[in-house]
Chain A
């Protein structure tokens, strides 16, 4: 109880001091002449925010970049590029086989995923050609926007990316795999669910249940899923999936730790993230679908379009800007994935990601290596941010 009271007192005092200071300074400014009041008042209002951002975000970010180019554990030993490149005996981040390796490159082309992906892509191209022939009546051109073609191509791209990221191993490939898998699948599922919800009864209740994982912590989500993935052992009952496997007469699988399952254990952690983020994609896309003007849909139906055509030719083009928002948002947040990996495998069993490397190095006191990984995350996120910024500017100017 005493800790509760002291907590409340501490919090209360801190807030009172903050508000009191702001009020006092403002009352002081009230006493000044009009000219000085007009000059000073804006800075009284903006000042606290600027100070916080400068000390707490801007200077640290610049210093992180600086530290990533310094040698010594805390950057005391002078300029270097070794954190990024290094020597063959003490490799930097980008030369480290565990971070970025091209060794499995040739295996991509022999993997089943790649072959299936290519086959689907070829089928999609056939579908695109047929769609174009149907539309124009003549035999030339391809129509990639037809349902079969575009869906097939998206799936083919996801499969080929999976082939690449399971063949080439390393922390950076892992991160990119996370981004491709979670962004791609959460967006696809979210779009599917949004369309489904639009035609269902009680859709609000259903959407609420699917959206719920967004409210809880990733640590909580990891614990929830441990009761799906657990393998039976002494003092541990099987998770639901392993119980199902046993029920089917199969051997149980340690989904997150088994050596046989590497690198697919990564994907089983990604599933948790997909479980969380699908709700986000669904809610945003559902709102976008509802805001498509109903006159457009009605007009298309009067012209004899069926549901599939209405979705593909009317709804989808209208919600493309929202789709882009969902995709870029997911890319940026998944690139920084940390909690889930830390709480499930702690980065062991070939599941490490950049943010965890950044953390482990920080914990080990290697501040320059830690900063290097932070900068790598920044560099990977920046193109998406730049794209967002450009798009935002275009929309504003419109």
Chain B
């Protein structure tokens, strides 16, 4: 688990770029020029890294005829841009595709509950693991954290069977229903439940780290004032661990938003509820009408993550790095 301390002081810039003072003027100039080389190389690489994304962005604004006949870089010499791709992709998809405006809503409808539910459940559990004595606490905590090691592929087949058929057991010729057939497949709730289960081990681990480091005297004082665990959790712990909640919320939201596999398995049969990733791949693989809308559609799917990325980078980095071990 790596903790990025963004407040760490940056080492003196002067020492890096100032150059030794005992050199003569020409020597100092050469030294300054040499010191600028890393900056140039770095920004050259940044350009290389960004070119693919810029290509998509430029293409998303080019009219159909141009997109299909020439590459996006010709927009430099022959600029001609339109918002029509975005209008069509959002509201008016041709060829029987669900519009990406609808898919955007579907993604929100999946990602918001799949973020909020695990946070609430995990916060309660993390508080109990940190501050409530009970039998079997430590081994249960280890078991929960160890589940981070399970690749999500390990759970998909049985969950699919569980959601559409329930679980039954036959003992002595009698069949018992352990879990009823709720017919959840191809409904968003199947995706929520799955993401909730997958998100919990990491959420509990992160929040436990944070909550267990809160000062114990605060709780003692509250207990003396007559508060019980429920009151302490609700009024003190939840407000205090906002930074940890935010970091995990951003990680989990983006994970669910960008997820393709879980949605593909539990929701791909229901076009009207499918999130952006599913609709995008449908558009890619069809290679038929509407390919000119692919760049704008792809960009629509990236807008929300990019806004989160650029506006909440600190939390984003913290959440992403802490969560990079997720299964």
Name, among B6, B150, B189, the residue most crowded by chain A CB atoms within 10 Å (CB to CB). Answer: B150
Q: Are B162 and A60 in contact (CB under 8 A)?
A: yes
- From B74, which residue of chain A is reached at the shortest CB distance? A237
Q: Smallest distance from the beta carbon of A289 to chain B beta carbons, Å? A: 10
Q: Smallest distance from the beta carbon of A201 to chain B beta carbons, Å? A: 5
- 108-161 of chain B: CB within 8 A of chain A: 108-109, 112-113, 116-117, 120-122, 124-125, 127-129, 132-134, 137, 140, 144, 146-147, 149-161
Using A22-B120, A240-B73, A374-B154 as known contacts, say yes or no to A216 and B305 having CB atoms under 8 A apart: yes
Q: Are A4 and B113 in contact (CB under 8 A)?
A: no
Q: Are B105 and A7 in contact (CB under 8 A)?
A: yes
Q: Are A227 and B153 in contact (CB under 8 A)?
A: no
Q: Are A223 and B49 in contact (CB under 8 A)?
A: no
The proximity string for B residues 39-76 relative to A, scoring 1 for CB distances below 8 Å and 0 otherwise, is 10111011001111101100100000001111111000
Using A56-B193, A57-B197 as known contacts, say yes or no to A283 and B317 having CB atoms under 8 A apart: yes
Q: Smallest distance from the beta carbon of B40 to chain A beta carbons, Å? A: 9
- From B6, which residue of chain A is reached at the shortest CB distance? A287
Q: Are A52 and B197 in contact (CB under 8 A)?
A: yes
Show the binding face of B for A, using Cβ within 8 Å.
1-2, 4-6, 8, 10-11, 13, 16-17, 35, 38-39, 41-43, 45-46, 49-53, 55-56, 59, 67-73, 102, 105-106, 108-109, 112-113, 116-117, 120-122, 124-125, 127-129, 132-134, 137, 140, 144, 146-147, 149-162, 179, 189, 192-194, 196-198, 200-201, 204, 228-230, 233, 254, 257-261, 264-265, 276-277, 280-281, 284-285, 291, 294-295, 298, 301-302, 305-306, 308-310, 313, 316-317, 320-321, 324-325, 327
Beyond known contacts A57-B200, A325-B1, A359-B261: 4 more, CB 8 A cutoff: A45-B124, A215-B316, A240-B51, A339-B260
- A156 CB within 8 Å of chain B: no
- A333 CB within 8 Å of chain B: yes
How many angstroms between the C-alpha atoms of A290 and B11 in the bound complex?
Answer: 8
Q: Which residues of A contact B192 (CB under 8 A)?
A: 14
Q: Which residues of B contact A203 (CB under 8 A)?
A: 42
Q: Are A61 and B105 in contact (CB under 8 A)?
A: no
Contact of B8 among A60, A291, A382 (CB under 8 A): A291
Show the binding face of A for B, using Cβ within 8 Å.
3-4, 7, 10-11, 14-15, 18-19, 22, 26-27, 29-30, 37, 39, 41-43, 45-46, 48-50, 52-53, 55-61, 63-65, 67, 74, 193, 196-197, 199-203, 206, 208-220, 222-228, 235-240, 243, 275, 278, 280, 283-284, 287-288, 290-291, 294, 322, 325, 329, 332-333, 335-336, 338-339, 342-343, 346, 355, 358-359, 362, 367, 370-371, 373-375, 377-378, 381-382, 385, 388-389, 392
Contact of B16 among A199, A243, A338 (CB under 8 A): A199
Q: Are A49 and B204 in contact (CB under 8 A)?
A: yes
Q: Smallest distance from the beta carbon of B256 to chain A beta carbons, Å? A: 11
Contact of A224 among B41, B55, B124, B159 (CB under 8 A): B55
Q: Is the interface of A mostly helix, strand, loop or mixed?
A: helix
Q: Are B56 and A210 in contact (CB under 8 A)?
A: no
Q: Which residues of A contact B102 (CB under 8 A)?
A: 3
Name, among B68, B257, B324, the residue most crowded by chain A CB atoms within 10 Å (CB to CB). Answer: B324
Q: Which residues of A contact B204 (CB under 8 A)?
A: 49
Q: Which residues of B contact A213 (CB under 8 A)?
A: 49, 53
Contact of B153 among A27, A58, A358, A367 (CB under 8 A): A358
- From B292, which residue of chain A is reached at the shortest CB distance? A235
- From A210, which residue of chain B is reached at the shortest CB distance? B49
Contact of B55 among A4, A240, A370 (CB under 8 A): A240
Q: Are A325 and B2 in contact (CB under 8 A)?
A: yes
Using A53-B201, A227-B56 as known contacts, say yes or no to A235 and B8 having CB atoms under 8 A apart: no
Q: Smallest distance from the beta carbon of A323 to chain B beta carbons, Å? A: 11
- From A297, which residue of chain B is reached at the shortest CB distance? B11
Q: Are A67 and B16 in contact (CB under 8 A)?
A: no
27 contacts between A and B (CB under 8 A): A7-B105, A7-B108, A11-B112, A14-B117, A15-B117, A41-B132, A45-B124, A46-B129, A53-B197, A60-B154, A60-B157, A64-B157, A64-B158, A202-B43, A211-B317, A215-B254, A217-B305, A220-B301, A236-B291, A237-B71, A240-B55, A240-B71, A243-B71, A284-B2, A362-B157, A377-B154, A381-B149
Contact of A210 among B17, B46, B128, B298 (CB under 8 A): B46
- From B324, which residue of chain A is reached at the shortest CB distance? A329
Using A4-B105, A49-B144 as known contacts, say yes or no to A15 and B321 having CB atoms under 8 A apart: no
Q: Are B280 and A359 in contact (CB under 8 A)?
A: no
How many angstroms between the C-alpha atoms of A225 and B70 in the bound complex?
Answer: 16
How many angstroms between the C-alpha atoms of A206 and B144 in the bound complex?
Answer: 38
Contact of A220 among B6, B105, B120, B280 (CB under 8 A): B280
Contact of A374 among B140, B153, B310, B313 (CB under 8 A): B153
Contact of B155 among A45, A57, A226, A284 (CB under 8 A): A57
Q: Are A381 and B151 in contact (CB under 8 A)?
A: yes
Q: Smallest distance from the beta carbon of B31 to chain A beta carbons, Å? A: 13
Q: Are B4 and A7 in contact (CB under 8 A)?
A: no
How many angstroms between the C-alpha atoms of A166 and B141 in the bound complex?
Answer: 43
Q: Which residues of B contact A196 (CB under 8 A)?
A: 38, 41-42, 45
Q: Are B11 and A294 in contact (CB under 8 A)?
A: yes
How many angstroms between the C-alpha atoms of A197 and B2 in the bound complex?
Answer: 20
- From A288, which residue of chain B is reached at the shortest CB distance? B2
Q: Are B313 and A202 in contact (CB under 8 A)?
A: no
Name, among A39, A49, A322, the residue most crowded by chain B CB atoms within 10 Å (CB to CB). Answer: A49
Contact of A45 among B127, B201, B260, B264 (CB under 8 A): B127
Q: Smallest distance from the beta carbon of B32 to chain A beta carbons, Å? A: 12
Contact of B140 among A37, A46, A200, A389 (CB under 8 A): A46
Using A22-B120, A294-B11, A329-B325 as known contacts, say yes or no to A11 and B109 having CB atoms under 8 A apart: yes
Q: Which residues of B contact A237 (CB under 8 A)?
A: 67-71
How many angstroms between the C-alpha atoms of A142 and B60 in the bound complex?
Answer: 56
